[in-house]
Structure 1
Amino acid sequence: MKITIAKTAGFCMGVRRAVDMVLDAANSTNDPICTYGPLIHNPQVLKMLEDKGIPAISRIPETAKGTVLIRAHGVPPESQHELEQAGFKVINATCPRVIRVQTIIRKHAEKGYATIIIGDRDHPEVKGLMGYSAGKGHTVCSMEELADLPCFEKAVIVAQTTQDTSLYDDVKKWATINHPHYKLFDTICDSTEKRQAEVRQIARTHDAVVVVGGKESGNTKRLAQIASETGKFYVHIEDISELEKSHLQQLGSAESIAITAGASTPNWIINKTFRSLETELDKKDRAISSSLIVMSRQIRNFLLRTNLLLAAGAGSMTYACSKLQNMEHILIHSFIAMLYVLSMQIMNNLFSISSDRYNNPERADFYERHKKSLSATAFLAGATGIYLSFSTAMLPFIILSVMSMLGLLYNQKLFSASFRGRKISRIKDIPGSKTFLIAVAWGSVTSLLPALSRPDPDVVSFAFVVPFVFTTALLFARTAFFALLEIQGDRITGKETLPIILGEKRTKKLIHNSLYIAALIIFISTLTGIIPKTGLLTALIPLSMIYLVKLHEKGALYPGMHLEFIMESHFLLSGFLVLFT
């Protein structure tokens, strides 16, 4: 069974911008916030906003206070004026593509042009566009309605930004032949064109299509319409819970399934659909799959959810660092690293249940159901690790105790400060702190603490600095990569992660650069004799991680257990690369 997610699935630029604007506004002020009309056409996003205390108002009050955001579809200019007159601070979250169409209509209306809008007259975007036509606007949704319009002395033709491209192509041909003096503007968003073209293409190469998105979303309904026209089995759902038994039977008989989504469908809904389909169809496959395959998947999922795989990776990384430092490896150091990472990672996941409800619902459910046992495991692992460190040397014991204490206090209110208008009272509130602290903690526990336990530690020498920088760079890239995958859920819950602060493009550059630095430092250190030549193979770790990240960026690997397992396995591999050299 092959499941493919369309590359164009999910938030378009305009919707992403609108959602980011309302969440940033909510996370930076305590004043009342609302949206004028539904911000976008997606029930899950609207429910999320309501849960955060951001309602959608349908009428403009006489007097008001606080902030109101104009929906991504835009509103008539008189509505924006009325909102300002009521006392609102108005933030215009209208999609820039829609603003362009508004500008075209307004400028030509001022010159006496009639406006012909190809679109759904009941759609909020079209209603907003009509407000810029100075009473000379006409909305049509078919070629018949277009032909029935009178001939205008001068007119402009524009399209709703999410209109069907094939219909608008027919409109342009008709206008060129019958009214060559009309001005034609290509106003369908390129994102819409790409989505519609891709759904036609993937429907040809797959047996079934699942369209995910709001039932009121015009662009999502058009994707479903296009999928139906291909003759392949398709289903349009807002949430995976809407899939009926008959749907699953049809999908279960397909060799390949494509998932596409409208411009207002968030990533967490798409990923949830992908994971749930994978799980549901996997149940059907068990009858024909070998028990070994089924068992291997169950073991994989258990190792990931309990963080045992990552903890084992820390132990393996400690062994690799000792080889790079040309230092005799003592097994207790690997156990200390394993126990510390296991403890901290479990606590981190316990603290992240709220954002995981969006980013990783299965993990959130697992930690919710096993909260007590996992909390006890985290405490016992942390305490055991500290006890073992005491048996090595006093300085490693003190450092690990401080690191563990900081981990326990990460979510506790400790001080009062502010950043960009946002209150900071906990370590977790410090922007980007999670990525940096995890990276430094791994570098310390895998390379620094073992070195400090020696009778004559020389931690300032390059031989000891190189493994620390190498491990820190790898973990920085790994943590930033997962933060990128979880950006929407983190923004919803108000987290200031690195991708939210720097943006996705800058974060991607940082990830690539960190991995290149990790590989380069191994090459240079090996050539100059700082570390043994046997350590050269460890450069394969960052190079492999770069390849994995690029595969994901190209859409070849989707967020889920498989991607997570491959990423986390790199650290386990590090020890094996130096084991037989």
Structure 2
Amino acid sequence: MKITVAKTAGFCMGVRRAVEMALDASNRTDAPIYTCGPLIHNPQVLDILDEKGISVIREIPDHGSGTVLIRAHGVPPEDQDKLQKAGFTVIDATCPKVIKVQSIIAKHARQGYAVIIVGDRAHPEVIGLLGYAEKNGHVAETMDDVTRLPTFDKAIIVAQTTQNKAFFEEVALWAESVHPNYRVFNTICDSTESRQADVLHLAEKVDAVVVVGGHASGNTKRLFDIARATGKPTLHIETETELDIHRLGNPRHIGITAGASTPNWIIRRVYREIENQLMGHHRGVRRFRFVLQRNLLLSNTYLTVGAGCLTCAAAMLQGLAPALPAVGVAMLYLLCMHTFNNLMDISSDRYNDPDRAAFFQKNRRLLSVLTVLSGMGGLSIAAAMGPLLFVLLLCMSFMGMVYIISLMPKGIAGRFKPKIRDIPGSKTVLAAMAWGIVTTLVPAIYGFGHIRPVTVLIFVWTVSLVFVRTAFFDILDMQGSRIVGKETIPILLGEKRTMGLLKNLAGLMMIVLCGASAAGFVSSLGWLLCLCPLSMLMFLSAYEQGGIPSGLRQGFLMESHFILAGLLTGLWALI
């Protein structure tokens, strides 16, 4: 069985911008925040905005206070004027592509042109566009509507930005043959065109298509119509709860696409649900492998094994034989801290990783016991290794716990951040530093009794690899992190710049380790371990090109880079 997600699935630029503006406004102020009409056409996102205290104004009052965001579809100019006169602070979250259409209409309406808008008459975007036409606007939903329009001395034809491309081209051909004096502006958003072309291409490759998005979303319904017109079994669902794989027949390859207002976390939930339903029909080795991978990832067991492998690699790069106590400390400490943070921070996993959230909710008591036992086990081993390492691990354990706990009451904190984790970008940096300490510094202190220059180099190398790993998962979790108010590095820098940073860092670590090996600063193992950052670099590049499958395998592949380090170290030791 195979699942393919369309490259263009999910938020378009305009919707992402509007949602981010709303969430950022909510995270910045306690003052009332509203949207003028539903911000986008997705009930789940609107529910989240409501949870964040962002409510919808459907009728503009005479007087008001607070902030109002203009919906992504735009509003008539008179509505924006009314909001400002009522006393609201107005933030214009209108999609820039819609603003461009508004400008075209306003300019030509002032020059006396009739305005023909090809779109859905009741759609908020079209209602907003009509407001710029100065009573010269006409809406055409079908070719019958187009042909029934009166003849104008001069007119322009524009499209709703999410209009069906084929239909608009038909209207343009009609205008060219019947009214060559009419000016035609193809204002269909390039994202819409790409999305519609993508679903056609996807339908050619797969046996069935699942279209994810709000039932009231016009662009999602058009994607559904386009996919269904290819003859492939097609479902339009809003969330994973509506999915019934049996309605698609018995497909071996399922394609997923999504409307412009569908968040990534909904797409990920649907992907996981398809995986689960497909695997529910399987027995034997394939299902066993899927369940094993899933449980290894969700329980942090695979991550813990990776920590042990990275510790062995770091020790041997420094010229040390891997010491079982040092490996045990790294594995138990990281198992304790990651599990503790997962238990205490289920809120963002509701969106980023619903499987993990459900797993931790279901096994909360058992995982709490595991956290305590692994923490105590790590401290016990550290105590046996010496007082310095015990104090170091005790301090790190304390810092790991207070990281997500408020350091002072909010009333006293005022405008200052009450938790360490609220410091922008802190999660990625501190997690990487903690990994570096237990996988590199602890073995060095235990083996040498002190830190050598080579230790510093290997510390930088391990911290960099873990930083790449953690920041990559932060990229996947951007929408959920923004919802709960986390300011991770990808949110601060943006996805594209963060991905560039990670690729450059992986490439730099490959060069550094190769150089250190060539200079004899580290053993020949360094040549082999250059494959780890190289593999990460290839993984990130493939992810950007859409070559890495979503879902379970995506996380499993990224976590496997540390396992690779251990395998390469073992191979070198045997040779």
Shorter chain as normaliser: what TM range?
Answer: over 0.9
Structure 2 residue 460 is the aligned partner of structure 1 residue 498 = no
Check whether the contact 1:415–1:424 (CA below 8 A) recurs between aligned residues: no
1:456 is displaced (CA, Å) by: 4.1
Q: C-alpha separation between the residues in 2 aligned to 1:507 and 1:372? A: 36
Structure 2 residue 346 is the aligned partner of structure 1 residue 350 = no
Check whether the contact 2:516–2:526 (CA below 8 A) recurs between aligned residues: no
Check whether the contact 2:116–2:157 (CA below 8 A) recurs between aligned residues: yes
- Secondary structure of 1:453's counterpart equals helix
Matching residue's letter, 1:88: F
1:333 maps to which of 326, 332, 335: 326
Aligned-residue Cα RMSD (Å) equals: 1.5
Q: In the alignment, what sits opposite 1:228?
A: 228
2:385 maps to which of 392, 406, 424: 392
1:400 is displaced (CA, Å) by: 1.3
1:492 is displaced (CA, Å) by: 0.4
Residues 417 and 541 of structure 1: is their aligned pair in 2 closer, same or farther, counting only changes over 3 Å? Answer: farther
Any idea what the Cα deviations from partners look like across 1:306-345, whole Å, max 9, x if unmatched? Answer: 1111111111111111110012321110000000110011
Check whether the contact 1:473–1:517 (CA below 8 A) recurs between aligned residues: no
Structure 2 residue 190 is the aligned partner of structure 1 residue 190 = yes
Q: In the alignment, what sits opposite 1:321?
A: 314
Q: C-alpha separation between the residues in 2 aligned to 1:326 and 1:358? A: 44
- Secondary structure of 1:580's counterpart equals helix
Q: C-alpha separation between the residues in 2 aligned to 1:198 and 1:456? A: 59
Residues 329 and 203 of structure 1: is their aligned pair in 2 closer, same or farther, counting only changes over 3 Å? Answer: closer
Scaled by the length of structure 2, the TM-score of the pair is 0.97
Structure 2 residue 459 is the aligned partner of structure 1 residue 468 = yes
Structure 2 residue 250 is the aligned partner of structure 1 residue 253 = yes
1:296 is displaced (CA, Å) by: 2.0
Q: C-alpha separation between the residues in 2 aligned to 1:423 and 1:52? A: 20
Structure 2 residue 400 is the aligned partner of structure 1 residue 403 = no
Q: C-alpha separation between the residues in 1 aligned to 2:243 and 2:304? A: 37
Any idea what the Cα deviations from partners look like across 1:538-567, whole Å, max 9, x if unmatched? Answer: 111111111112222211223321111111
Q: C-alpha separation between the residues in 2 aligned to 1:396 and 1:201? A: 58
Q: In the alignment, what sits opposite 1:134?
A: 134
Q: C-alpha separation between the residues in 1 aligned to 2:325 and 2:437? A: 15
Check whether the contact 1:356–1:489 (CA below 8 A) recurs between aligned residues: yes
**Could you tell which deviates more after superposition, 75-84 or 55-64?**
55-64
* Equivalences for residues 284-299 of structure 1 within 5 A: 284-286=281-283, 291-299=284-292
* Equivalences for residues 44-443 of structure 1 within 5 A: 44-244=44-244, 248-251=245-248, 253-286=250-283, 291-414=284-407, 423-443=416-436
Matching residue's letter, 1:560: G
- Secondary structure of 1:407's counterpart equals helix
2:472 maps to which of 481, 502, 516: 481
1:273 is displaced (CA, Å) by: 0.5
Any idea what the Cα deviations from partners look like across 1:475-519, whole Å, max 9, x if unmatched? Answer: 000000000000000000111111111111111111112211221
- Secondary structure of 1:68's counterpart equals strand
Matching residue's letter, 1:574: A
Any idea what the Cα deviations from partners look like across 1:168-221, whole Å, max 9, x if unmatched? Answer: 101111111111111111100001001111111211221111111011111001
Q: C-alpha separation between the residues in 1 aligned to 2:104 and 2:448? A: 76
Number of aligned residue pairs: give it: 570
Structure 2 residue 505 is the aligned partner of structure 1 residue 546 = no
Matching residue's letter, 1:170: E
Query: Which blocks of at least 5 consecutive residues in structure 1 are unaligned?
Result: none
Q: C-alpha separation between the residues in 2 aligned to 1:57 and 1:559? A: 37
Check whether the contact 1:261–1:270 (CA below 8 A) recurs between aligned residues: yes
1:125 is displaced (CA, Å) by: 0.3
Q: C-alpha separation between the residues in 1 aligned to 2:231 and 2:551? A: 30
Structure 2 residue 562 is the aligned partner of structure 1 residue 574 = no
Check whether the contact 1:160–1:188 (CA below 8 A) recurs between aligned residues: yes
- Secondary structure of 2:121's counterpart equals coil
Matching residue's letter, 1:251: L
Any idea what the Cα deviations from partners look like across 1:346-376, whole Å, max 9, x if unmatched? Answer: 0121132101101111100111111222122
Matching residue's letter, 1:358: Y
Matching residue's letter, 2:31: D
Scaled by the length of structure 1, the TM-score of the pair is 0.96
Q: C-alpha separation between the residues in 2 aligned to 1:448 and 1:417? A: 36
- Secondary structure of 1:10's counterpart equals coil
Q: In the alignment, what sits opposite 1:13?
A: 13
Matching residue's letter, 2:210: V
Q: C-alpha separation between the residues in 1 aligned to 2:392 and 2:533? A: 28
Matching residue's letter, 1:469: V
Any idea what the Cα deviations from partners look like across 1:508-543, whole Å, max 9, x if unmatched? Answer: 111112211221111010000100012311111111
Structure 2 residue 532 is the aligned partner of structure 1 residue 535 = no
Q: C-alpha separation between the residues in 1 aligned to 2:410 and 2:100? A: 41
Q: C-alpha separation between the residues in 2 aligned to 1:390 and 1:469? A: 26
Check whether the contact 1:485–1:559 (CA below 8 A) recurs between aligned residues: no
1:252 is displaced (CA, Å) by: 5.1
1:424 is displaced (CA, Å) by: 0.8
1:453 is displaced (CA, Å) by: 2.1
- Secondary structure of 1:121's counterpart equals coil
- Percent identical among aligned pairs is 50
Check whether the contact 2:36–2:70 (CA below 8 A) recurs between aligned residues: yes
Matching residue's letter, 2:121: R
Q: C-alpha separation between the residues in 2 aligned to 1:7 and 1:386? A: 46
Matching residue's letter, 1:143: M
Q: C-alpha separation between the residues in 1 aligned to 2:514 and 2:235? A: 52
Matching residue's letter, 2:255: A
Matching residue's letter, 2:427: K
- Secondary structure of 2:157's counterpart equals strand
Check whether the contact 1:163–1:188 (CA below 8 A) recurs between aligned residues: yes
- Secondary structure of 1:424's counterpart equals coil
Query: Which blocks of at least 5 consecutive residues in structure 2 are unaligned?
Result: none
Q: C-alpha separation between the residues in 1 aligned to 2:139 and 2:513? A: 65
